[in-house]
């Protein structure tokens, strides 16, 4: 499974790069608003930091505007992925941009039928929103499993990007269900390494080592 960091905070991304665990980045208008910075400038800086895909979202609601915005965003850097809403106009824009060789991430997916249409339109990524489905008492993992089965049935190349992830369990369950990518906030990515028994075991080793009076260096 690949990990994309879900943030528009350049400092947070920079801090995570040395781990080697950042395969890409996803942003959206809300995250850019929180950063308080110029949108294109932020996207450009992130693209320079990360070798993998960087999703930048259009704000138009009609296909023609989405295509124009997507074409413009793709010029920022070679690794920009144009993020489009899963609406009919978004699907039309996805088909057009894909035809121009521009990678796309179709977002706000809440059903397997939507995911099927996105794959048919040539989407590079589909972003089912797990957490938001859980909020209305629908198991988001069921959606991941359904999409995985449909894509495997027809050999679609669209990658499943599990989004709206809020916990370590969401990441684990998405991996088990067959998602290709998990996009996570920095705090969730860091939290995947945490376990109380690891901390307890490490402290016991350190205590015993201290008793030896030795130094490795």
Tens-digit pLDDT profile for residues 159-199: 999 999 999 999 999 999 999 999 999 999 999 999 999 99
Q: Which two tokens stand for residue 189?
A: 């990515």
Contacts of 57 (CB under 8 A, 6+ apart): 27, 28, 29, 82, 83, 84, 107
* pLDDT class of 36 with cuts at 50, 70, 90: confident
Per the document, the length of the chain is 217
Q: Which two tokens stand for residue 176?
A: 């088990």
Strands in the chain per DSSP E: 2-6, 24-26, 54-57, 80-85, 104-109, 125-128, 159-162, 181-184
pLDDT digits (tens, 9 = 90+) for 68-114: 999 999 999 999 999 999 999 999 999 999 999 999 999 999 999 99
Q: Which two tokens stand for residue 5?
A: 């960091």
Query: All domains of the chain, ordered by start, with CATH?
Result: 2-212 (3.20.20.70)
Average pLDDT in the chain: 96
Mean pLDDT of 48-55: 97
What pLDDT score was predicted for residue 35?
84
Site of tokens 């070798």: 51
Q: Which two tokens stand for residue 71?
A: 């074409």
Site of tokens 């075991």: 201
Instruction: For residues 39 and 18, give the distance between their C-alpha atoms in angstroms, rounded to a whole number.
Output: 25
Q: What is the DSSP letter of 158?
A: P
Q: Say which of 2, 34, 75, 83 is annotated catalytic.
A: 83
Name the phi and psi angles at 179, rounded to 5: -65, 145
**Beta carbons of 150 and 184 less than 8 angstroms apart:** no
Burial of 191 (0-12, 13-18, 19+ CB in 10 A): middle
**83 catalytic, yes or no?**
yes
Instruction: For residues 197 and 211, give the distance between their C-alpha atoms in angstroms, rounded to a whole number.
Output: 21
Instruction: For residues 176 and 120, give the distance between their C-alpha atoms in angstroms, rounded to a whole number.
Output: 25
What pLDDT score was predicted for residue 30?
85
* pLDDT class of 34 with cuts at 50, 70, 90: confident
Instruction: For residues 56 and 83, give the distance between their C-alpha atoms in angstroms, rounded to a whole number.
Output: 5
What's the predicted TM-score (pTM) here? 0.94
What pLDDT score was predicted for residue 130?
95
């Amino acid at each position: 499974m690949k990990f994309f960091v879900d943030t528009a905070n350049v400092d947070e991304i920079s801090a995570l790069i040395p781990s080697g665990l950042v395969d890409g980045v996803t942003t959206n208008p809300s995250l850019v608003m929180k950063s308080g910075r110029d949108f294109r400038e932020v996207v450009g800086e992130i693209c320079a930091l990360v070798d993998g895909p960087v999703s930048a979202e259009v704000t138009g609601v009609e296909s023609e505007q989405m295509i124009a915005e997507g074409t413009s965003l793709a010029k920022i850097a070679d690794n920009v992925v144009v993020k489009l809403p899963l609406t009919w106009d978004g699907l039309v824009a996805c088909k057009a941009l894909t035809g121009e060789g521009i990678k796309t991430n179709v977002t706000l997916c809440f059903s397997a039928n939507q995911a099927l249409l996105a794959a048919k339109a040539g989407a590079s990524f589909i972003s089912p929103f797990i957490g938001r489905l859980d909020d209305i008492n629908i198991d988001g993992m069921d959606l991941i499993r359904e999409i995985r089965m449909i894509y495997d049935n027809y050999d679609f190349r669209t990658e499943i990007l599990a989004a709206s992830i809020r916990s370590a369990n969401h990441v684990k369950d998405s991996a088990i269900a067959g998602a290709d990518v998990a996009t996570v906030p920095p705090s969730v990515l860091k939290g995947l390494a945490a376990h109380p028994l690891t901390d307890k075991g490490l402290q016991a080793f350190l205590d015993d080592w201290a008793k030896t009076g030795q130094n490795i260096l």
